[in-house]
């Protein structure tokens, strides 16, 4: 399973450095063979297991022994965490592009992308085009242009 994580990492690093391209190709071969229920020919997972265990051996032999014995379980955990992280990141990016917020259409929760980019959604606005950056408004009372329709629709929703 470590081959999947190695493929993702080495494929990304291979974009910037030719040194990692051969490892990415090796990891791809390993993933393909594992997906077809065959054994890897390259022993990439064994080399990674040895290198990781050796790094821990310098600091703590007990930890190195634990990592070496439970490397397959740890590999599964890291694969699940990598895939989960990728899915949640894609979901947040989709929500930000579609709704202007990482958390969805009607969310007023914290969104790190809003803080980094300096834009903040106007409170009470349900239309993604209605935000401080695109409308040039400081609050919901000073919105102009496309935001007027947004504010009108939210006021009608509040009256209903």
Do 65 and 129 belong together in one domain?
no
Quick one: tokens of 133? Answer: 């950056």
Residue 118 lies in a domain: no
% of the chain beyond a pLDDT of 90: 31
Instruction: Give the pLDDT band (50/70/90) at residue 65.
Output: very high
Do 18 and 66 belong together in one domain?
yes
The tally of CA atoms less than 13 A away on the side-chain side of residue 32 is 8
Rounded CA separation 150/135 (Å):
11
Residue 112 lies in a domain: no
Residue 34 lies in a domain: yes
Question: Residue 123 pLDDT > 70, yes or no?
Answer: no
Over range 122-135, report the average pLDDT: 51
Write down the pLDDT at residue 158. 46
Whole domain around residue 148: which residue ranges? 123-159
Write down the pLDDT at residue 81. 92
Rounded CA separation 53/26 (Å):
21
DSSP state of 144: -
């Amino acid at each position: 399973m470590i081959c999947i994580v190695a493929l993702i990492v080495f494929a990304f690093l291979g974009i910037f450095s030719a040194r990692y391209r051969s490892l990415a190709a090796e990891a791809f071969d390993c993933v393909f063979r594992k997906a077809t229920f065959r054994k890897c020919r390259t022993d990439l997972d064994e080399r990674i297991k040895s290198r990781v265990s050796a790094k821990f051996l310098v600091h703590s032999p007990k930890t190195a022994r634990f990592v070496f014995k439970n490397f397959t379980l740890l590999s599964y955990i890291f694969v699940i965490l990598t895939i989960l992280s990728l899915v949640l990141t894609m979901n947040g990016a989709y929500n930000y592009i579609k709704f202007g917020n990482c958390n969805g259409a009607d969310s007023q929760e914290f969104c790190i992308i809003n803080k980094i980019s300096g834009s903040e959604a106007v409170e009470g606005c349900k239309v993604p085009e209605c935000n401080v950056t695109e409308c040039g408004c400081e609050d919901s009372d000073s919105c102009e242009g496309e935001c007027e329709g947004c504010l009108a629709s939210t006021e009608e929703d509040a009256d209903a």
